[in-house]
Amino acid sequence: MSATAELIHRPEGSDGGSQLGHPATGELDLSHGVALYLENITVSFDGFRALNKLNLAIDDGELRCIIGPNGAGKTTMMDVITGKTRPDRGKAFFGQTIDLTRLTEAEIAHAGIGRKFQKPTIFEQHTVFENLELAMKADKRVWKTLFAWLSGDERDRIADTLRQIRLDREADRPAGLLSHGQKQWLEIGMLLVQEPKLLLLDEPVAGMTDDETMRTAELFVSLAGKHSLVVVEHDMAFVEKLGGKVTVLHEGSVLAEGSLASVQNDQRVIEVYLGR
């Protein structure tokens, strides 16, 4: 079977997500293309299964939320996608052809998967603008020395990103002086200047004010379409504002998938997560 044919094959145990536009025929809707495809991913740590036959398919341009109790395997799933953790078994494809299980972490980043960790890793003594400039120059596709001048296009891209992350007025301030939320946005901007196809965001609004949380939701909604986003979050007001399809992980597999309203009404989800 060709890689494409395998990808069209619907993984067992998936409900097809029929409420949100997928045909209920048991096949993936390929009209948008698949950005990320995980099938039967299993990861064990000393015999404990952190991921257990996990299936997940993310469309091009989709904004997907992943929720679930502590220890469900959400971060481990991101570790598998980014090559930090190798699965014991299962398939992981980026697009239809890139086999993530065969690439190094650096190759995966280069292929267009950007990941934001919880703790921002910005350069505090540099200005906001310089942080974006350094991130752009660290991108191997750009291949510039740190001392090279930026082209007009690159300056424009940084200016656009500054507006997107609402830091255009802070461009010349040292990043260390930003609020916690602004630092998180700057780190997202540092990913965006590298123009990733897929962005993975693990608890991006932890520690943010309510206002910052809602602004972050607006930012993510505006990024969808151009990028695919996979967002892990516990904050349900934020998940609701994002408005995308929600996948509930529990004990390393998908427990439920669909609109937020549908998973919130799912008795199994209430028992293991929302009802706590």
70 or 125: CB nearest ligand ATP:
70
CA–CA distance, 267 with 78 (Å, rounded to integer): 27
For ligand ATP, the binding residue among 2, 31, 70, 121 (CB under 6 A) is 70
Tell me 120's DSSP state.
Answer: -
CA–CA distance, 214 with 240 (Å, rounded to integer): 10
Closest CA to 191 of 242, 151, 132, 142: 132
CB atoms within 10 A of CB 275: 8
Helical spans, DSSP H, in 120-179: 128-138, 152-164
**Using CB distances below 5 to 8 A depending on partner kind, what does residue 50 bind out of ligand ATP, Mg ion, none?**
ligand ATP
CA–CA distance, 194 with 106 (Å, rounded to integer): 13
CB of 182 to ligand ATP, least distance (A): 23
**Tokens 């998973």 belong to residue:** 263
Q: Is 76 in the site for ligand ATP (CB under 6 A)?
A: yes
Which segment (30-38, 55-63, 72-80, 129-137) binds ligand ATP by CB under 6 A? 72-80
Q: Is 131 in the site for Mg ion (CB under 5 A)?
A: no
34 or 50: CB nearest ligand ATP:
50
Q: Is 97 in the site for ligand ATP (CB under 6 A)?
A: no
Which segment (65-73, 89-97, 164-172, 186-194) binds ligand ATP by CB under 6 A? 65-73
**Binding residues among 30-59 for ligand ATP as defined by CB under 6 A:** 45, 50
CA–CA distance, 10 with 161 (Å, rounded to integer): 37
CB of 202 to ligand ATP, least distance (A): 7
User: What binding mask, one character per residue, do residues 65-94 give for Mg ion by CB under 5 A, x or -?
Assistant: ---------xx-------------------
**Tokens 């004010």 belong to residue:** 209
**Using CB distances below 5 to 8 A depending on partner kind, what does residue 108 bind out of Mg ion, ligand ATP, none?**
none
CB atoms within 10 A of CB 120: 18
CB atoms within 10 A of CB 148: 11
Chain contacts with ligand ATP (rule: CB under 6 A) = 45, 50, 68, 70-76
Chain contacts with Mg ion (rule: CB under 5 A) = 74-75
